[in-house]
Structure 1
Amino acid sequence: MLAAPRGFCAGVDRAIQIVEQALTKFGAPVYVRHEIVHNRYVVESLKAKGAVFVKELDEIPDTSQPVIFSAHGVAKTIPEAAKNRNMFVVDATCPLVSKVHIEAARHFEQGREIVLVGHAGHPEVVGTLGQLPPGAITLIETADDARAFEPRDASKLAFITQTTLSLDDTAEIVGVLKERFPGIGGPVKEDICYATTNRQNAVKAIAEKIDGLIVVGGPKSSNSLRLVEVAERFGCRFSVLVERASDIPWEKLEGVTSVGITAGASAPELIVEEVVEAFRARYEVEIEVVTTLEERVVFNIPRDVRVTRTPAEQR
C-alpha cells in the first residue's frame, strides 16, 4: 500500500528549486548554509550540480555568488552576519516556519512569555529560539516538561510549536498547558504544517491494514521519524526508516504479506520507486495507492533567483 500524500511538501520543493534556479541563473558555486533539507540524496544531487554546503558563514569566501539559508530557518544573528559581509542572501526558509517566527515576535511585542513545543537541537527549533533575546522562549519537549513548567506570569503566556511534530504528542503537550494555564495564547491556525499533518493521517489510514511500514526519509528528518512512530502507535507490527532501498531490513519481512510505503516531506519520489522495485525483485507485488487527500499547495520562488521562462515555456 502506497500512502498518499507522501514525499516532497511545498516548502521542500521550493527550497530545492531555489538552489537549482540559483545555479542556473548565476552558475556554480552557490553556497548553502546547512543541509537545504534533511535528505542525503537531495544534498548529494545538488552538490553534483555545483552547490557548496557549509556549516557556518565563515566557511564562505568573500563572494558575490548567492548564499542560501536552508528551509528550516535561521536565528536572526545569521542574516545580520551575512549583511555585515555584503553577502547576496537568498532565504529558502519554509513560509510555514516563517509564520511561526512572526507569531513569536507578535507574542513578544505583546509582553508574553513564550513556550516553544519542539525538539532540542533541531535546526528549526534553533532558528525559532534565535528570533528573540535569550530567555524569551522556553523549550518544552514532553508532557512532563509542560507539567513542570513554571511561568513568570501565567496571565501573560503563549505557545508556538515546531512545524514537524507528531500531531498526537503535540496535542497532549498543548492539552497539559491549556489545562494548567487556561488563558494561554496560541496560534490562530496550528503551527504543525499541513504536510506533516497529511502524511501522518495517510499513515494512520493504512496502519491497521498492513503488517509493517517502510518510511523513506533521512535519519535527521523530524517529520520522517514521526511517521515511524505514528505507524507503530496505530497498529503496525514494525515500522522502519530507510534512506535508500539498500537499507531495507529484509529479515523483518519474513512471513509478511502486506507492507505500506510512505515518504517524509524531504524524500524524493525517485527513492520510493527504488524501494518498490526492490520489492518487485524479491516478491510478486500488487500495488494499491491509498489517497486520503490531494495536496495543491505551492510556494513562490524569490525573484532574485527566479529563472524567467521563455514564451514557449509559458504557453
Structure 2
Amino acid sequence: MNIQVTEQAGAQPTEISQADAKPELTIRLCGPRGFCAGVDRAIQIVVLALKQYGAPVYVRHEIVHNRYVVEGLEAKGAIFVEELNEIPAEHRQQPVVFSAHGVPKSVPEDAQSRNLFYLDATCPLVSKVHKQAMRHQRLGRHVILIGHAGHPEVIGTMGQLPEGTVSLVETIADADVYTPIDPDNLGYVTQTTLSVDDTAGVIARLQERFPNLTAPSADSICYATTNRQEAVKQAAEGCDLFITVGAPNSSNSKRLVEVALRAGAKHSILVQRASELNWDEIGDIRTLGISAGASAPEVIVDEIIEAFRARFDAKVELAITTEETENFLVNRELRDVPLTQEDMAWVNGVRPLSV
C-alpha cells in the first residue's frame, strides 16, 4: 500500500491553550473509492439526457443506490419511477433511463410496447454478466446466480433467462442444500458487487459438490468492487473507527463495512451524510479510516473529512492500492452533447482533496 501524507492547509496559530487544542487524528483515506466507471456513466447519461431533451427525464428505479445522487438529479428535472406505467401519457415522448443495475428483458420490451424512448444505463460489466448467463443457458447448462435476493441487479440478471433455467444461491448454507436436476450440467455467474472473500467460499463449496460446474469466461465481480475491498483491507487494520460513505441499500457499500471489520478496524459504520455522525459514540479516536462505495459521491467524502477537521487536528494519509483508468462511453444518442466539469461538480466536488 502506498501511503502519502497530506498536511492540512493553512497557517497554524503560534499559541494554543491546552483547553482549546484539538485532539490529533490521522485519517487514512482509501483509494480507489467512490464512483466506479459504471456509476459515473449512469449519472452522466441522466445529466446529458436532461441537457439534450429537457425536463422531465424519467428514470426507472434509483439510477444508483444513493439518495444524494437521486435528490440531486430530481432537482435538475429527473423523475424517478419504479414501473413504466407510472409515466403519464403526455410525457411518453420524453426519455426514460434504465438504472445502472440492469433490468429484465421484459422491461425494454414493455417500453417498446408503450412507444417509449429509452436509454439503457446498465453498467457494461453487469451487461457482461447477462451475456455470461445467457451463454451458459444457450449451451444447455442450468445457471446458478450467486447474489442477494431482491437486489435489482439480481432481478435483472435472472430476468435475462427463461423461467426455470436459473437458481439463486446466496450463502455457503444455500450451496450445501442446493439440489439441481442435472448436477453435471451447471454454470455459475455472480452479482458484480459481492464480497470477494464470501463469494470465493460459496464458489468453492459449489465446486466441491459439483466438480463439473462451469465458471464464467471472466470473473463476474467487477474491478471496482475488488479494488475498493482491497484498499479497505490494507487501510483498516488499527483504525479506531472506519467509515464507509454509502447508502443502506447499496450492496457494495455494505460489503466494505464488513471488510473493514474483518481487516482489523475496531468499529465500522456506514454513513450517508456528515449530519448522521454521532459524535458521542465516536468519542476519543486517534486513527480513522474512510472509504466510499461505488455509488457514493466524492463531495460527501469531502463533507465528512471537513466535519472531522472541525473537531480534530486532522492529518490525511492517502492509502492508495491501485489507480483506476476505466471509462465507459455513454449511449450513442448522447455522445455529441457536451459534458462540463461544472455539470458534475455537485457530485465530484470542486476541491482536489481526492485521490
- TM-score when normalising by structure 2: 0.86
CA offset at residue 253 of structure 1?
2.2
- Measured after TM superposition, the shift of residue 201 of structure 1 is 0.3
Bigger RCO (CA 8 Å, 6+ sep):
2
Residue 253 of structure 1, aligned match among 277, 282, 286: 282
Q: CA deviation at 1:255?
A: 2.7
The CA distance in 2 between the partners of 1:32 and 1:307, in whole Å, is 21
For residue 107 of structure 1, what is the aligned residue in structure 2?
A: 136
- Consecutive unaligned residues in structure 1, runs of 5 or more: 311-315
Given the alignment of the two structures, is residue 239 of structure 1 paired with residue 268 of structure 2, yes or no? Answer: yes
Alignment-derived partner of residue 3 in structure 1 = 30
Q: Does residue 1:41 correspond to 2:68, yes or no? A: yes
What is the match of residue 186 of structure 1?
Answer: 215
Aligned counterparts of 2:207 and 2:176: Cα–Cα separation in 1: 11
Instruction: Give 1:299's match in structure 2, choosing from 303, 319, 328.
Output: 328
Q: Deviations over 1:108-138 (max 9, x none)?
A: 1111011110000000001111111222111
Q: What are the Cα deviations for residues 21-47 of structure 1, in whole angstroms up to 9, with x where unaligned? A: 000001001010000000000000000
Deviation, 1:8, is 0.2
Q: Report the secondary structure of 1:287's partner residue.
A: strand
**1:142-153 to 2 correspondence within 5 Å?**
142-153=171-182
Report if the CA contact (8 A) 2:189-2:215 is conserved: yes
User: How far off is 1:309 after superposition?
Assistant: 4.2
Following TM superposition, by how much is the alpha carbon of 1:256 offset from its aligned partner in structure 2, in angstroms? 1.4
Deviates more, 1:297-306 or 1:137-146: 297-306
Q: Quote the offset at 1:249 in angstroms.
A: 2.5
Q: 1:180 and 1:46 mapped to 2: Cα distance? A: 47
Q: Distance in 2 between matches of 1:165 and 1:248?
A: 26
1:157-214, CA deviations, whole angstroms, 9 ceiling, x for partnerless residues? Answer: 0111000000010000000011111110111211000000000000000111312201
In the TM superposition, what is the alpha-carbon distance from 1:234 to its structure 2 partner?
1.2
Structure 2: how far apart are the matches of 1:59 and 1:288? Answer: 47
Larger Cα Rg: Structure 1 or Structure 2? 2
Alpha-carbon shift at residue 263 of structure 1 (Å): 0.4
Counterpart residue type for residue 183 of structure 2:
A
Shift of residue 299, structure 1, vs aligned partner? 0.2
SS at match of 2:180: coil
Which of residues 126, 131, 149 is equivalent to 1:120? 149
Contact 1:24–1:307 (CA under 8 A) maintained in structure 2: no
1:262 to 291, 305, 312: 291
CA distance in 2, matches of 1:6, 1:248: 20
Give the secondary structure class of the aligned counterpart of 2:310.
helix
Q: Is residue 129 of structure 1 aligned with residue 158 of structure 2?
A: yes
Moved over 6 A (4+): none
CA distance in 2, matches of 1:183, 1:212: 44
| Equivalent in the alignment of 1:95 | 124
SS at match of 2:332: coil
- In 1: Cα distance, 2:278 partner to 2:34 partner: 21
SS at match of 1:21: helix
Query: Secondary structure at the residue paired with 2:316?
Result: coil
Specify which of 227, 236, 248 is matched with residue 207 of structure 1.
236
**2:319 aligned to 279, 290, 294, which one?**
290
Residue in 1 aligned with 2:14? Answer: none
Of residues 66, 69, 80, the one that matches 2:109 is 80
Specify the alignment match of 2:8 in structure 1: none
TM-score by length of 1: 0.97
Contact map agreement 1:22 1:306 (CA 8 A) in 2: no
What root-mean-square deviation, in Å, do the aligned CA atoms of Structure 1 and Structure 2 show?
1.0
Unaligned runs of 5+ in 2: 1-27, 340-355
Alignment size in residue pairs:
310
Q: Aligned letter for 2:199?
A: T
Partner residue in 1 for 2:183: 154
Partner in structure 2 of residue 313 of structure 1: none
